[in-house]
Each structure stands twice: as structure tokens, then as C-alpha cells.
Amino acid sequence: MASVKLKAKAIDGGLIEVKALMTHPMETGLRKDSATGEVVPAHYITEVVVTANDKEVLKTNWGGSVSKNPYLSFHYKGAVGDKVKLTWKDNKEGTDSAEIAVE
Amino acid sequence: MVKLLLPGLLISSLALTAAYAAGEPNADAYRQMTYGDRDANPALLVVDRGEELFKEKRGPKSVSMEECDFGLGKGVVKGVYAELPRYFKDTDQVQDLESRMITCMTTVQGFDAADLKKKTYANEKANEDNTELEAIAVYIASQSDGMKINPSTSHPKEQEAIKVGEALFYHRAGPLDFACVSCHGADKQRIRLQNLGNFSKAGPDAQKAIGGWPTYRVSHNAVRTMQHRIWDCEGQMRLPDTEYGAPLSVALIAYLAAQAKDGTYVLPGMSR
Amino acid sequence: MKRRKFLTNTLAISAAGIAIGSGLVSPQRALAAEEPATNPFTAKTLDEALKLINATDHKPSTDIQLKAPEIAENGAVVPLTVSSTLAGVTGISIVVANNPTPLAATFTLPEGTKAEVSTRIKMAKTSEVMALVQTKDGLFSAKQEIKVTIGGCGG
């Protein structure tokens, strides 16, 4: 089951607009389980890397302050047909990625 | 202005509500920035998950939900939500999307209804992800995106459901004597920054509200459906929980959908 | 919260008890034995976080646009867009002063990537949000207060 939804389209000025949605609990590590009273361990995406034709166009590092089911958007100089790939890693060695061709 | 006999604090907050005066603090900019871009809606991933669950052969009978009829024939999902709730001959009942899903998942897929109803809503306080029922519901509903809100209202049982729903809408109950109309019976009401749509009449408030459900609620970090909305309102009103898909909830939804007729579905929605 | 800190320090003291007894470590040192955060994302104060990302020296700049709502109707999802017309932007960071972990995100922008990033953050309560923009000429900042409100029915 996919945890990344990618959109990449060419806009004015030779720019590609990338929009990404991810499914992830983004657990801060500061929340207490109401049933057990135990602190729920941190579980959040720590790094997202986006490449276009295998060249890095964005890297972002996150903590628990990013919303659950995070969203990310940015622009880079590129062209229709570029292969855009997003990979996320979290603090529990979880990872997932998705790829899309720029329209 | 609805006459209310509510505890003092609530009266004063409701009595002071009015349309936002120019320059008054409001959440309009937040709403535009947060809900305005449909590509930024986390519900889209839940819709995808719902589609997988819908198409997968599941249950003791190992059958896909494509074998089900949601009102427009077996296997048809496009446009079905736009015409719900509606009367179904095979169950001789008016059903909304979610009660119809239970019918499908039990009769066609062989699931046990009581089991299914054990996992109806994600517990947002425990940071849970949406349940299967929520994912399937938002998938089916989203296939009516852009369509007119057009619940079936011609069958006598449909009309009866709407009348029952209306009666329930005005029925005061519980320790605080709340009825739906207590909060949703006048124009331009709000509680703090949240607008309270007037659902006592057919019109834009009902259209906008119904047209946006199911929705990704940011305050829950989860998709919520109409069954959840009714259940949540009941909680706020200090009323007992209604069972998932119960006739009472279907009647209320039938009434609200009828008030929203000719509005447009924008699904999945995104809201507070 | 205060209580927990006390207990942590007590444990630290007992662990360092032997050292104190032997006169090798002063009491103040023992009390400060709580491990400082090295991960900027787990730093619990704005100052700590800024120190850990080497961002304590920043100049306010009007060439940074922090687009964020003044009032958020919920703190779980607060949209932000940070953009800058400064030349040679290589990085952007976002910090939320009143969050339990103030550093929200850092962005590394290679050549060819526009100096504009959008994301959504959690805010524990009303707070100043600051965007830090790294360029070849130095580190610049812009900030804005975002009010976080509670819901209509108390939830």
C-alpha cells in the first residue's frame, strides 16, 4: 500500500511544481498513551530526498513538529518528462518512495 | 434567533454569535491556505487505500465489493454517493452509504456485522490511521466528486425517512436538552471561529456542509464520514451513541441530504 | 514536568554519587549531568535548537516572505510557505518558538531549486514562527506570530 502521492507538473518559467503527500503517523515521542500511561515512542519521518533524473533537487529534514500525514511542495528548474523520485526515511528505519514523470 | 434553554455559558456564546463583522478575527485565510489546494489533502491517500480494499477479494466468501449494488447496478461506483441515501428493494430499507456498505460486506463478502462495527472509526486521540470502513467509504464517495447532490426522494420510504429525519432534527433530548436545531437552526451562527450552518432550511449552508463530506478533518488527522459526523454531534450533545448505520442516523442523513439538494459534491473534502 | 526533571537529576546525582563522594566532581556538575540534545530536532528550547543548527546569528530581512495564516483554527495542521528573493539561497529552516521541539524542518536547496518551500506543521499553541534563510552572504530571518485557537465545541 503506497504511502506517497506525488504530483509534478511544468509551470511557467521553466519550473516544475512538485507536490507530495505522505502517510505517516509523525509521532512526536512526547505523547502519553492514555490507556497505559506510557510515552509513545517517537516515530516520524526524519529525511525526505527528492531527485529529478537522479539528481537531488531537494532534501528536507524533519522532526515531530511536522504534521501527521505530511505535505511538501517546492519548485525546481526542469522539463516535462523528468523522472521525479521522492524517498522518505524515518527514525525507525522505515522507508518508502514514489516516482512520477513530469507532465 | 432560536429560543434556547441552555446552561448560562453556552447561551451567552451562542447569543453573541452573528455574521463576522468587517475586520473581526476569523479563520478565512487559514481555511483558504489549508483546504484550498486539493492536491494537499491527505485524504487522497486514504481514497487510494479504500480503492484497494474495495477491489480486493475479501471476507469469508473471498469476493470483491465490485459485486455489490450501491444503487446504480452491480459494480457501479461512479455517481452512487450522489444519489444516496436511497431505498433498496433487497433490504426493503432506505440506506446511506455506510449502512449499505455493511449490507454488502455481510451478505456478499460474508463478514460478520458485529465484527465490522468493532472497527468503525479511527481513534484520533491514539493517533490511529483510518479504519477500513472509513477508507472504503471515502473511496466510494469520492467517485461522486463534482456531481450534484441528488439523493433519491421519490419513493414513499425515502420521503418517510426524510420526515423522520426532520423530526429528529428538532427533537430535544439528553441532559442538556439539545436538538440539532439548537446549533443549526439559524443563519450566520458561529461558535468561536467555527461556522454553524443553518440546516433547518434547504440552501447553501446545507449544500456546502453535505457537499464536503466525507472530509479529512485536520483536528483528527483523519478522514471522517457522515456516520462519524452524526456520532460526533451526538457526543457533543451528550446523547447516547448511535450504532453505526442505524436507521436513526440514516434518517438524519436523508433529511440533511434533501436540504442540500442541487449543491455540488467536492470530495474528498478537507476541514477542521 | 518540574517533578520529572528533579527525578532525572536525582538519578544523575546517584550515578555520579561515587564521583561526588570522592571529591572529583562538584555538586553543580553532577546536577547538570542530564544529557544535552545533540539532535537539533529534539532540542527543547529555541536557543538550543538554533545553536545546534548554527543559526544563532541571523539578520532580519524583508526579502524573506513567510506566508502563514495569522489565526489557525487548529494547531495540528498549520500551512506555511517560506520564499525568498535573496540571491544564492542554499537552505531554509523553520522554527516554532513555543513548540516542545521548536525546530520543525530544515531544507537543503541545490542550484536550480527555487527558494520557496511549503509544508504543514504542528503548533502546540500560539507562537512566533521564524524562517531562517541561508545564503552565500549569511543567515537571514523573518518571523510572524500565528495564533492557535481551540475549537468551537471545546475540541
- ipTM, two decimals, is 0.96
Return the DSSP state at C54. T
- Count of structural domains within chain B: 1
CA closest to A37 among chain B residues? B126
Residues 6+ apart with CB under 8 A from B117: B102, B243, B244, B245
> What would the pLDDT profile of B31-80 be if each residue is shown by its tens digit?
999 999 999 999 999 999 999 999 999 999 999 999 999 999 999 999 99
- Say whether residue B19 is in contact with chain A using an 8 A CB cutoff: no
Residue B76 lies in a domain: yes
- In angstroms, the CA B35 to CA B32 distance is 6
Question: What is the overall mean pLDDT for chain A?
Answer: 97
Question: How much is the pLDDT for A1?
Answer: 65
Angstrom CA distances, B213 to B3, B43, B217, C95, stand at 29, 11, 10, 34
Domain membership of residue B27 (yes or no) is no
Predicted pLDDT of residue A34: 87
Contact across the interface for A68 and B221, Cβ inside 8 Å:
yes
Domain boundaries, chain A: 4-95
Which value, to the nearest 10 degrees, does the dihedral of the CA atoms of residues B261, B51, B93, B224 take?
Answer: -60
CATH number of the domain residue B183 falls in: 1.10.760.10
Q: Tell whether A7 is within 8 A of chain B (Cβ).
A: yes
> How sure is the predictor about B22, in pLDDT bands with cuts at 50, 70 and 90?
confident
**Residue B12, domain member (yes or no):** no
> Under an 8 A CB cutoff, do A77 and C106 touch?
no
* Neighbouring residues of B32: CB distance < 8 A, sequence distance ≥ 6: none
Inside any domain, residue B32: no
- Kindly state the cell numbers that stand for C88: 544564492
Q: pLDDT > 70: what percent of chain C?
A: 74
Specify the pLDDT at position B12: 32
Q: Rounded to whole angstroms, how far apart are CA atoms C123 and C73?
A: 11
Q: What is the pLDDT of residues A16-47, one digit of tens each?
A: 999 999 999 999 999 999 889 999 999 999 99
In this predicted structure, the answer to whether residue B18 has a pLDDT above a threshold of 80 is no
Asked if residue B169 belongs to a domain, the reply is yes
Query: Is B55 domain-assigned?
Result: yes
Residue pLDDT, tens place only, A57-96: 999 999 999 999 999 999 999 999 999 999 999 999 999 9
**A4-95 is classed in which CATH architecture?**
Sandwich (2.60)
What domains, with CATH codes, occur in chain C? 2-31 (no CATH), 40-148 (2.60.40.2470)
B92 in a structural domain: yes
Residue range of the domain that includes B236: 38-271
| pTM greater than 0.80 (yes/no) | yes
Structure confidence by residue, pLDDT tens digits, B92-109: 999 999 999 999 999 999
Which residues in C lie closer than 8 A to residue A66 (C-beta atoms)?
Answer: 104-105, 119-122
Check if B191 contacts C (Cβ < 8 Å).
Answer: yes
